[in-house]
Amino acid sequence: GQNIDQPTEMTATEGAIVQINCTYQTSGFNGLFWYQQHAGEAPTFLSYNVLDGLEEKGRFSSFLSRSKGYSYLLLKELQMKDSASYLCAVIHRGYGQNFVFGPGTRLSVLP
Amino acid sequence: DTEVTQTPKHLVMGMTNKKSLKCEQHMGHRAMYWYKQKAKKPPELMFVYSYEKLSINESVPSRFSPECPNSSLLNLHLHALQPEDSALYLCASSPGQGNGANVLTFGAGSRLTVL
């Protein structure tokens, strides 16, 4: 089975940097993905990691350590529109496209 | 075209009704998915079609019946649902091969209410 954990809620200030952590336990691993979901809308893809290290995409970066079962999403220069839920999802090796989503972290960006 | 289109956006049905949710993509993606999402919860995988064949069925009750008529279309047939089936039903697709093979593109969802 798989177990994915994220903080339930976080609050940060506009212009700041925030790090959202995700830990996972899985008997197989084939990639970790980050999605953003605004209330009432569909999730949208942000970033993914298959190998250890940092992937940078503009204001968003994602880090993965497979040995520690750990990832984080780093959001820089926060904007009000970044208030959303952030979901990490793991693909379980051997299951093809079997994504399992973590519980999500609800981020509130305050002025 | 970089979208996944779902219809209807909203659906209200009784427990004895039969209805269908539809999903369409024209990105040439070869994997298509149905997810169920309850309020303030993450999406839960229901079904995966890979190259038009059902590859994953996450122990979903038989009152939900998926269908993949071709590589661009995915349906979810609903029959004899229960009120607890009320949720947002999300369709997604992914390339299935190459770089970014497993990156999901989601549709806007169909919000289902079962009375």
DSSP string covering B41-71: S--EEEEEEETTEEEEE-S--TTEEEEEEET
CA distance A25 to chain B (A): 17
Test A35 with B55 for CB contact under 8 angstroms.
no
pLDDT of residue B58: 80
Better-scored residue on pLDDT, A25 or A74: A74
- Strand stretches in chain A, DSSP E: 2-5, 9-13, 18-26, 32-37, 44-49, 53-57, 60-65, 70-75, 84-91, 99-101, 105-110
Report residue B99's pLDDT band, with 50, 70 and 90 as the boundaries.
confident
Kindly report the average pLDDT of chain A as a whole number.
91
pLDDT digits (tens, 9 = 90+) for A71-102: 999 999 999 999 999 999 998 765 456 788 99
Strand partners, A87: A35
Q: CA-CA distance, B115 to B107, in Å (whole number)?
A: 24
Which chain A residue is nearest to residue B93, measuring alpha carbons? A97
pLDDT of residue A53: 96
pLDDT of residue A96: 55
Which chain A residue is nearest to residue B103, measuring alpha carbons? A45
Long-range contacts of B100-103 (CB under 8 A, 24+ apart): B100/A48, B102/A30, B102/A31, B102/A33, B102/A48, B102/A91, B102/A97, B102/A99, B102/B31, B103/A33, B103/A45, B103/A48
Test B108 with A43 for CB contact under 8 angstroms.
no
Which chain B residue is nearest to residue A5, measuring alpha carbons? B42
pLDDT of residue A91: 85
Q: Does residue A103 belong to the interface with chain B, where contact is any CB pair within 8 Å? A: yes
pLDDT digits (tens, 9 = 90+) for A8-20: 999 999 999 999 9
Of B45, B48, B106, the CB nearest to A43: B106
Q: Is the pLDDT of residue A65 over 70?
A: yes
Q: Is the pLDDT of residue A35 over 90?
A: yes
Residues with Cβ within 8 Å of residue A6, at least 6 apart in sequence: A20, A21, A22, A23, A86, A87, A88, A102, A103, A104, A105
pLDDT digits (tens, 9 = 90+) for B5-60: 999 999 999 998 999 999 999 999 999 999 999 998 999 999 999 999 998 888 89
Test A96 with B50 for CB contact under 8 angstroms.
yes
Interfacial A residues in 34-93 facing B (CB < 8 Å): 35, 41-45, 48, 87, 91
Q: CA-CA distance, A101 to A31, in Å (whole number)?
A: 12
Test A31 with B41 for CB contact under 8 angstroms.
no
pLDDT of residue A1: 58
Test B102 with A91 for CB contact under 8 angstroms.
yes
Q: Is the pLDDT of residue B102 over 90?
A: no
